[in-house]
Structure 1
Amino acid sequence: MKKLLITLVTMLAFTGAAHAVVNINTATQAELQTLPGISSARAKAIIEYRTKAGAFRATDDLIKVDDTIDMRDLRKDVTITGPTLIRPVAK
Structure 2
Amino acid sequence: MKSLKLPIATFLLLVSAAALAGPVNINTATAEQIATELKGVGDSKAQAIVAYRSEHGAFRSADDLVMVKGIGEKTVAANRENILIGEKGK
- TM-score, scaled relative to structure 2: 0.66
Bigger relative contact order (CA 8 A; separation at least 6): 1
Is there any run of 5+ residues in structure 2 with no aligned partner, and where? 1-18
Name the residue aligned to 2:62: 59
Rg: which structure is higher?
Answer: 1
Structure 1 segments of 4+ aligned residues over 6 angstroms from their partners? none
Kept in 2, the 8 Å contact 1:45–1:65? The answer is yes
- Structure 1 residue runs of 5 or longer lacking an equivalent are 1-16, 85-91
Over the matched positions of the two proteins, sequence identity in percent amounts to: 38
Paired positions, count: 68
TM, length-normalised to structure 1: 0.66
More helix, by proportion: 2
- Greater strand fraction, Structure 1 or Structure 2: 1
